[in-house]
Amino acid sequence: MNADPAVQRRLLELADADAALNRIRHRRASLPEQGGLDRAEAAVRSRRDALVAVETALSDLDREIRRLERDVDAVRSREDRDRNLLTAGEVSAKQLTDVQHELATLQRRQGVLEDELLEVMERREATGAEAERSRGALAAADEELAAVRKVRDEALSDLDVDERRRTDDRTALLRELPTELVELYERIRARSGTGAAPLSARRCGACRLELDRTALGRIRVAAPDEVVRCEECATILVRTAESGL
């Protein structure tokens, strides 16, 4: 295949555009800002899970407090009823001992319940303070996430702008290059990742290998418009003043 040397040199511009687009895609896939966002999202999930756990514990403690309060109220009501019976003199001598014994039992039971209630209320107070700390931690994590997401979005926006510019440059180049030459370039690029590279200081700019004397001799005597390729990686070699021929 033949192509004007100036046209062949335009292939290097196309290769530069493709290399830049590859770098953009790689940066997009391994964006450091995305890693920061992933960590910030994980922190929010962790803080949210912690808050759910402590709020669940609060709910359980509130339910336990209500149960104990009902039990205390029931014991007090029973105690009031027995005292009213004694005060009214509505119990027989035989029942008196039983009622007095029940009152003593109810008083002990009330003491136990009130101690349990106090202990649960203290736990509830400590858990409530923990819940407030968890809400604060979640709010801080949400703020950090918003800030990190903004940084990530700005980085993506910059990449989008650069990608559009490089794509526009590539499209313009394709319109100016011969179809047959572009098709060869694309076939090679699909196989090896690089369609064209400069021959610089007797070295292929794609595989970075130095050409042997035989290959250099063939290129040296090739017509200026002949499209030559690297014998190692098959990339189109574009001859320049730095080729060392």
pLDDT in tens, 96-112: 777 788 889 999 999 99
Q: pLDDT tier at 152 (50, 70, 90 boundaries)?
A: very high
Taking only the tens place, the pLDDT of each residue in 68-93 is 999 999 999 989 888 887 777 776 76
In this prediction, residue 94 carries a pLDDT of 66
* Cα dihedral sign, 56-61-62-66: positive
Asked if residue 192 lies in contact with residue 233, where contact means CB atoms within 8 angstroms, the answer is yes
What is the H or E stretch that residue 54 is in? helix 32-88
Query: Could you tell me where the beta strands, DSSP code E, fall in 97-239?
Result: 196-200, 203-204, 228-229, 236-239
- C-alpha–C-alpha distance, residues 173 and 182, integer Å: 10
In this prediction, residue 241 carries a pLDDT of 87
**Cα–Cα distances in angstroms (integers) from residue 204 to residues 32, 39, 183, 200, 234, in the given order:** 32, 42, 21, 7, 10
The dihedrals phi and psi of 146, each to the nearest 5 degrees, come to -60, -40
37-41, 82-86, 144-148, 177-181, range with the lowest pLDDT: 82-86
Entry pTM = 0.68
Mean predicted lDDT score pLDDT of the chain: 93
User: CB count, 10 Å around CB of 56?
Assistant: 10
